[in-house]
Structures are given as structure tokens and as C-alpha cells.
Structure 1
């Protein structure tokens, strides 16, 4: 770790704010085509757990759905500090590992699927529509947990990621491209998070 990285690390440790327990990272299919992209991802996962995260969700947006199966296979082989669940765009089984990776799993589509599942229960007489709660919707989501900190590299947009879950997340955008993302960039995001006063919609 370089001198500047050590300086940032000491600031993160000294600051009174809480560290994010659930960190989400948004990258693109194109990012993963860059040399060293998978090594960068493995490093980010290590940094997240080094700084007390207990869950990490990675969303990879894809332009070509045909690329999704290859990405699922490759990302399932990551050298990661915790167990990994990878879900493709058509997966409906809920992810429950400490590290969750979504491949082309758009938030609109995930939310619509949840609503359809609840509507079928209402149609079968298994559920009162007036009794449906936020928790009922979340129980149907493939990625149910709300991130504390969401980091997006390269551009200031969320790419249809976790629309329901990220409504109260602290968003951190950096113009650093994924191929150039370093530990100091991760530490800057965490330090920025620790300085914020979370409002949770209030």
C-alpha cells in the first residue's frame, strides 16, 4: 500500500462514522473485457471485507444477453474472500451468499416478477391484496437486501440496478473507469460514506 493509500486508510479508521455493512458495485459487461478487470474485482471484494463489509453485491449490466451465460461461468470462478452466488438474467432463485453477483438482472424486470408472483397468490386466494407489505415484495426479489453504499464507476447512472433495494442507499459516483479503479478509490468512497448523515428518505 502506497503512502497516500495509508493516509486514506488511517482517515477511514479514525472517522467516527459507521462503515458500510453492505456494499454494492455497478460495472458493465464492457468493463470486464478490459485487461485485469477480474483481478480488480477480486481486489475490490478483498477491500470490502477488509473494511468490515459483511455483504457485497456486484451488478454487471449487459448489452448483449447472449454474453450472460459466459459471464456467469467466469464470475463463478472468482478468487473471492467469501462464498459467491452468481445469478443470470433469467434466474429466480434468491441469492443468499455473502457475495452476490447479478448478470444483466435489471431492477425493473426483478420488481415486475415480484409483483406478478404476488398477483398469482392473490388470484389463487392465498393472499389478501390489502395486506401486501414491503416485506412481501422483498421476499420475492432475487437480491432482497438493501445496500448501504452503492459505487458506480465511469458514469453517473445506475443502469437499472436494484431499483427497489437501493432507494435509501448512499450513492457514490466516480469518473474513474473500472480498469483504473484502485484501493485509494475504494477508500475515498468509504470515507465519503462515513461523512454522510443517512436520512433513509426522511
Structure 2
């Protein structure tokens, strides 16, 4: 008998039991950072849908996903984003009732959306946090120039209202790496960071359970 095939289910049940003991201390908003190759892998999309189901089961209400598109040519980057969008739309159609989503293209514009009731997924296909902040600032400056907004009215809340995602993630998960990508730069300043030891194609349910259990055991300081 393969001991791993026996041990993993037992360990999963143990982690699930531990998490359930502190069910109120779970993240409400989880952010995941992926690479374009993660979703082009035959099992990548399937693993993502499975991951969303696991998070929802444990009470997560929002999942934000950044797909890091490494192409620098704008036309090629847009083409990759368009291909991934089509794949995600097809897969998201299988999400249970009450789940909604919004997919942003490489230009930061909404490419696809569906309303949600108790679970929502944001996906940014190659549009990073620095571009997000820059566009928000330019939009606000334009409103100041036209007189729609007074300079003294500009504050953090106004800037946040112009960002793609207006929610702060409780935890940022990066698979197979030790560095964060350019995602939710403003929103994640007080987020907990979690790096898996394996790449996305090898992420198992037990790895996701470990992340949630690790979050429960941390004492959040919010920059203090």
C-alpha cells in the first residue's frame, strides 16, 4: 500500500477538523497569484474551479485572482488575455447558484461579468496594481480639472472607489514562489502572505487547507 495515498486523506480530515474548531477566524477574502502557464496547463482551470469550491465551503466570500501574463507586446498580451477569458467564462458557468464573477482584460476593462449573491470572484488578466493605481489617479485628476471633484475632497476612500477591487484581501497566496506579483498593491498592504512549496499544477486540497489553518493561527497586526 502506498502510505501517501492513505496518509493524505487522514491529514485532510485532521486539518478540516482543526479549521472547523475556529470557523469564525477564517479569511473572508482570499487572493491568488497565478502565471498564464498555470491556466494553459490542461488541469489548471479544473484545479482553479476546485479551489474556488473549497474556499466557498469554508465561508470565503471573495476570491481575487491575478494571472501574470509575461508577454510584453500589448497585442500579444491582449490575445493571451482573450484566450484565457474564453476558457474562464466556460468554466465559471459551472459555478453554483449564488456565485458571480468579473473578469478584467489586459487593459483593465471589464470583459465579462455575472452577478453574485454570496460568493464573488474577481479575475485580472495581466492588469497589475501599479497600472490600477495610476489609472485611478488620472481619473480623479480628470474630475478635478473638470470641476466634478474638488481637490480637498480627494482622499483614500475616493482612490479606493476607483480601483478594480474595492476589498482588502485577508490573505495573499502565491504558489511555487517567494515573491509577490504586481497585484492589489494598494489593497494588500495589511494582508497576510502565504507561499506554497509547490507549483500550481501540483497544489492539492491539503495545501489549501494548510493555508487556511496557517491564517487562523496568525495574529494580525495591520501594520502595527
Q: Shorter chain as normaliser: what TM range? A: over 0.9
**Range 174-183 or range 75-84, more displaced:** 75-84
| Contiguous gaps of at least 5 residues in structure 1 | none
Q: CA deviation at 1:190?
A: 0.3
Structure possessing the higher radius of gyration over alpha carbons:
2
Q: What's the RMSD between the two structures over aligned residues?
A: 1.8
- Is the 2:103–2:110 contact (alpha carbons within 8 Å) kept by the matching residues of 1? no
Give 2:59's aligned residue. 52
* d(CA) in 1 for partners of 2:140, 2:110: 16
Give 2:74's aligned residue. none
Asked if residue 106 in structure 1 is aligned to residue 128 in structure 2, the reply is yes
* Greater percentage in helix: 2
Give 2:190's aligned residue. 168
**Range 79-88 or range 60-69, more displaced:** 79-88
TM-score, normalisation: structure 1: 0.93
- Is the 1:24–1:149 contact (alpha carbons within 8 Å) kept by the matching residues of 2? yes
1:69-80 counterparts in 2 under 5 A?
Answer: 69-78=82-91, 79-80=94-95
| Contiguous gaps of at least 5 residues in structure 2 | 1-7, 72-76
* d(CA) in 1 for partners of 2:172, 2:32: 6
TM-score, normalisation: structure 2: 0.85
The DSSP-based 3-state class of the residue aligned with 1:105 is: coil
Q: CA deviation at 1:34?
A: 2.1
Asked if residue 92 in structure 1 is aligned to residue 109 in structure 2, the reply is yes
The DSSP-based 3-state class of the residue aligned with 2:67 is: strand
Q: CA deviation at 1:188?
A: 0.4
**Number of aligned residue pairs:** 202
Give 2:4's aligned residue. none
- Is the 1:17–1:195 contact (alpha carbons within 8 Å) kept by the matching residues of 2? no
Q: CA deviation at 1:193?
A: 0.5
